[in-house]
Amino acid sequence: MGSLKETQPANGVKRKRDEGKVQPSPLQQKRLKLLATRKLLPIWSHQKEIRDALKENDVLVLSGETGSGKSTQIPQFILSQPWCTGKIAVTQPRRVAAISLARRVAEEMGTPLGSSSPASKVGYSVRFDESTSPSTRIKFLTEGMLLQEMLRDATLGQYSCIVVDEVHERSVNVDLILGFLRGLLASKRKKPIKVVVMSATADIQGISWFFAAPSPSVENVENFTGNANGHTIGTEETPVKSPISAEERQISICHVEGRQYPVKLDYLASPTEDIMEAALHRIFQIHCKEPMPGDMLVFMTGQETIQGLQKLVEEYAQGLTADYPKILVLPLFAALPQAAQQRIFQPAPPNTRKVILSTNIAETSVTVPGVRFVVDTGKVKVKQFRNRLGLDSLLVKQISKSSADQRKGRAGREGPGQCYRLYTQEAYQTLERDTIPEILRCDLSEAILKMKARGTDDVLGFPFLTPPPREGMERALLQLLQLGALEDTGRISEVGRKISRLPLTPSLGRVIIEAAKPEMDCLLETIDIVACLSVENIFLNIDTEEAREQAQTARQQLLRRQGDHLTLLAAVRAYAAEHSDRRRWADDHLISHRAMQSVMDVRKQLIAQCIQSKLLDKAPGNDRSRATEDRATDEATQERILKCFLRGFSNNIARLCPDGSYKTFVGNQTVTIHPSSVLFGRKVEAILYNEFVFTNKAYARGASAVQIRWLEEIFG
């Protein structure tokens, strides 16, 4: 055979002259290979039905089990439709899902990903990271980013179709998006927009009703139980109190049967108190008794428990004899940097079993390949807002039956699997049927500010899928008023507009605005702290007294007696100033290098955002960390920094009482300083804290010492 000469690649295709044959480029080869896999997906045979439904109707509500192909295939099915001349947005609750889906769909389409090439057709946009090109047609983006785009263009004019994925999770953002889209469908937009709403649970009649009816009452939406077997429903007789014109709308419903192998269930015979111990025990029991292959997916509550368990599993795994396969522990939680998250999608090395320790992120949002064993602790960490107390607390709660079933399903995607529930069968029976929508249990101030910034002034009249309690709405309006985000009339203020452009909660946004004031002059320092607070925890978990002492010594240089905010600042500054070996620096200080990388990322993005919003003139130079280090430790600057935080967190202040306890100003609730805090065990006049965590006690986490005198100065 003669040597092969390649001509210039044209349209991604290389020609080998002497054979006269067309040799596909690597991208195209991959595309062709994946096409075979795509054709096996349950959704593939519904292609025509889905296209027809969208040709005739504006709204398609689609249910199908996780893994049936909804997120990856739907945008590709509709891309070439004559009505689809603009872009397609696909929203995701989590950044990791948005990025990994974009990567997968780009591969399936044989196009480069995001900003890597001007010809790329698939991109993504997540908070602090946008990767698109001038040719982007399909954009995976987090719900928050779509809402952010609505600030620039409330009509979402560049899109022909919005695909709202994972609605069963019922995040607040999804509920807002659904409400806005309902308005948009009824509006006089230049080009009509199509909406696809997708859910992993079959319980979608309420949503179709919401779109079909001009103003469904809550009872109707929640109690509606029809079957969702691929038929088109018409509009219903409905009340007329809606701000949206009562245009009649046809909604298509489609249900895709999943491909699920049988999963054997195992419960505990009696309840356990120690979830860590039970999980550890179960992991090794499976590993040692069950032959390969088959990876394990363990559902934990959050970063701390995941990292704690990771350490234990790795320690025990070292003691395994060579008769057993190796164990590769991979954590998965939202705050994990992207590169680390992507590792879970890669196959394990030979003779190794992956053990993925995940939050509920892997429940429906992210599909981890290779999993045959699921260990379910039955717990989830949720934010719960208590309107009366005005306190946001992070609670570890029992999951719902629907979550438990989703978790179980993860074991049966590629073959028969096993699911080990670390609770009893009786306990399962007592679980709630569905997860409570976030809008019923969250602080509504962010949601309300989002509505106001997008032109919805009458927030009480907003078309909510599930209207939140009025008390919560009123409280949130009051808080926004306190933050200065609203005028007395209830309209959004200039400060409110500035806050709404920042990818932060109204409280943190307010802190940034305050810090940018000339008289406060501490924006860069504040950005560093806010960046840390946006990443779950930079300090590695400390669980024993001995480890605590060790950490105290290792972190001595960084600890600031005023508390956690300034300690975080010192940590960021020291890390940024380290130019030789940052990983080693992090290890030496018992700080998570991964978390610090995320902090640096967020910090960069926040600076860019502040420049864009004219809060900052220009980006600081490279020598900034060293040059400003001294200033950051200067007492007056420190005081101003804490005052800025007070301005944004006026509800998170507690004073020392004569009995030695701390009581909140709002609600008079007793709080204890969290053991992870620099202030733990110390008595100061008053504390300001970042969050309120309720585990066995009410803990204030991320606490700093403040003076009552400052409060008088700020709030009068």
Residue 415 CB, nearest distance to ligand CDP (Å)?
A: 13
Q: Which is nearer to ligand CDP, 75 or 648 (CB)?
A: 75
Helix (H, G, I), strand (E, B) or coil at 149: helix
Q: Which is nearer to ligand CDP, 77 or 373 (CB)?
A: 77
Residue 299 CB, nearest distance to ligand CDP (Å)?
A: 17
Residue 699 phi, psi dihedral angles, 5° rounding: -110, 140
Question: CA of 573: how far to CAs of 558, 577, 626, 705, in Å?
Answer: 9, 6, 8, 21
The Cα 625–Cα 578 span in angstroms is 9
294 lines the binding site for ligand CDP (CB under 6 A): no
The Cα 496–Cα 620 span in angstroms is 26
Given phi > 0 = left and psi -120 to 50 = alpha, else beta, which region is 235?
A: beta
Residues in the interface with ligand CDP (CB under 6 A) total: 14
Q: What is the number of residues in the chain? A: 716
Q: Which is nearer to ligand CDP, 39 or 241 (CB)?
A: 39
Q: Which is nearer to ligand CDP, 200 or 576 (CB)?
A: 200
Contact 680, 673 (CB under 8 A): yes
Only one residue has tokens 């096996």, namely: 40
Q: Which of residues 352-411 bind ligand CDP (CB under 6 A)?
A: 367
Residue 114 CB, nearest distance to ligand CDP (Å)?
A: 14
Q: For 276-345, what is the HEC assignment?
A: HHHHHHHHHHHHHHCCCCCEEEEECCCHHHHHHHHHHHHHHHHCCCCCCCEEEEEEECCCCCHHHHHHHH
Residue 367 CB, nearest distance to ligand CDP (Å)?
A: 5
Q: Which is nearer to ligand CDP, 76 or 220 (CB)?
A: 76
Residue 309 CB, nearest distance to ligand CDP (Å)?
A: 25
Residue 255 CB, nearest distance to ligand CDP (Å)?
A: 12
101 lines the binding site for ligand CDP (CB under 6 A): yes
Beta-carbon contacts of residue 584 (< 8 Å; ≥ 6 apart):
none
Residue 68 CB, nearest distance to ligand CDP (Å)?
A: 4
Q: Interface with ligand CDP by CB under 6 A: which range of 99-107, 239-247, 459-467, 634-642?
A: 99-107
Q: Which is nearer to ligand CDP, 414 or 434 (CB)?
A: 414
Contact 257, 395 (CB under 8 A): no
Q: Which is nearer to ligand CDP, 363 or 514 (CB)?
A: 363
Residue 56 CB, nearest distance to ligand CDP (Å)?
A: 23
Q: Which is nearer to ligand CDP, 69 or 472 (CB)?
A: 69
Contact 445, 385 (CB under 8 A): no
Q: Which is nearer to ligand CDP, 327 or 344 (CB)?
A: 344
Residue 412 CB, nearest distance to ligand CDP (Å)?
A: 12
Q: Which is nearer to ligand CDP, 64 or 114 (CB)?
A: 64
100 lines the binding site for ligand CDP (CB under 6 A): yes
Q: Which is nearer to ligand CDP, 133 or 364 (CB)?
A: 364
Q: Where are the alpha helices (DSSP H) in 142-289?
A: 143-152, 172-186, 205-212, 218-223, 275-289
| Single-letter code of the amino acid located at 489 | T
Q: Strands 698-706 and 670-673, how do they pair?
A: parallel
Q: Which of residues 529-588 bind ligand CDP (CB under 6 A)?
A: none
Residue 42 CB, nearest distance to ligand CDP (Å)?
A: 8
The crossing angle, in degrees rounded to 10, of helices 635-648 and 506-515 is 140
Contact 510, 501 (CB under 8 A): no
Residue 240 CB, nearest distance to ligand CDP (Å)?
A: 36
Contact letters for ligand CDP, residues 104-123 (x by CB under 6 A): x-------------------
341 lines the binding site for ligand CDP (CB under 6 A): no
The Cα 192–Cα 161 span in angstroms is 9
Contact letters for ligand CDP, residues 41-80 (x by CB under 6 A): x----------------------x-xxxxxxxx-------
Q: Strands 122-126 and 138-142, how do they pair?
A: parallel
Residues found near ligand CDP in the complex (CB under 6 A): 41, 64, 66-73, 100-101, 104, 367
